[in-house]
Every structure is written in structure tokens, then in C-alpha cells.
Amino acid sequence: MAVRTPDPNPGWLSEDDLHEARRKLPILYVEAVPIRIDAVGQVTAVGTLLRANDAGEITRLIVSGRVMYGESVRDALERHLEKDLGPMAIPQMPASPVPFQVAEYFPLPNGGLYTDDRQHAVSLCYVVPVGGDCLPRQDALELTWLTPEAAASELIAEEMEGGRGSLIRAALAHLGALR
């Protein structure tokens, strides 16, 4: 009997396994709208990440990523915040694991408000105040801080992938930050 070294990342699927899973079942994600708040808790800025998509277009997105097998939602949210915003972002993690919204992404454009041509995904959506310095990592080119009004604009919504402009507006409405 061969002794095998344990997989250091047992929650990850190989690219082939992930592709196959995406064809057969919804995948769970967490998403976070990073915000800056003032001393009385009013939203002063909303963070969006810029990146180049597979077609080479510059698009905006928010913090997002899969929840791994055996990982808590809180741990997944913390991991993706650090991955996307850097280790010095100092996010204020939500006290409750209850999201402000659940977004369902479909691979077909007419399947719903949110789309993802790779898969059917269900995303738990959070608003997370960030107090430190953000240095985007991974595939993000930069983090742009926008006023709540600018973040909720149609112009920004058009630059967001998969309908996430609606998600930002929903987050701001949830916080009472839309005027």
C-alpha cells in the first residue's frame, strides 16, 4: 500500500474537476462590496477593482471568490478580501454571517439579473468597511474608490461584469446610502 502525501489544499478542485462541476451544479461564492465610512458610519466611498477580462477588455468588479469545501463562509470572505485588497486593507468583518443579499448567477443572459457564462453560481453578498491601505493583488490592476453616487451610476454599472452594478446599487440601498 502506497503512502500518499496529503493534499495541501484539499478544498481546491483541479481545473478539469472544476469545469466538470460547473457544468453540473451551482457553485457557492462570497462577494464583498468594500466601502469606506466616516466617524458616524456614513458611506463615503465604494471600492471597485479594475481588471482585464479574458477578451482583453478593462472591466470593474468587486471582491469575489469561491467557498472551498470545509471552509466557513467567514473564512472564505476573509481570504478573498485579503487576496483582492491586500493584507493591510484591515476589513471590518461582519458580525453576522447573514448576507445583505443572495445573488444567483446564470450562464444564460436571460436566466436572471446576474450572469456568469462559465457557470450557475450562488453568491452570498456582503458590504465590508475597509480601514487600511488597499493594494490589489492577483489579477486586479487597481482599486478605485468612488463616491456612492458615482458607484451607483449607469456608467459604472456598464463597466461591471455580470450585472454587478445592480449589486452595488443594492448594497448602497441596503445601507441607506443612495440619495
**Angle (CA) 164 168 173, round 5°:** 140
Could you state, in chain order, the average pLDDT of each consecutive group of 10 residues for the chain (179 residues)?
Answer: 50 75 86 97 96 88 94 96 94 94 88 86 97 87 95 96 94 92
pLDDT attached to residue 59: 93
Say what the pTM is: 0.87
- Identify the CA nearest to 102 among candidates 161, 162, 28: 28
DSSP structure class, residue 132: S
Cβ neighbours, 10 Å, residue 62: 24
